Amino acid sequence: MQEISIGQLAQRTGLAVSAIRYYETQGLLAPQRNAGGQRRYPKADIRRLSFVIVAQNFGFSLGRIAALLADLPHGRTPTGEDWQVISEK
């Protein structure tokens, strides 16, 4: 699994690093830490955060978004089938 830094994740999603850290405290992301203690995110988190951004634009609360994301696998990019299940909810 390829991992990226918080800076790379911020650049790819257009979010501020502080926003990513906030989403982490809300349980939307669960990064690993490397030997130096730096956060490392799976590339799949780019799509997770993109979903968060879109869902917030549609008026979903972070609590509801977290509940929907709880059913997605961590560490791998969600499949079309995974997103279909979420869209049916």
Residue ranges per structural domain of the chain: 3-88
How far is 75 from 25, CA to CA, in rounded Å? Answer: 18
29 closest CA partner among 2, 57, 9, 55: 9
pTM of the model: 0.81
Question: pLDDT (tens digit, 9 = 90+) per residue, 5-37?
Answer: 999 999 999 999 999 999 999 989 989 998 888
**In CATH, what is the architecture of 3-88?**
Orthogonal Bundle (1.10)
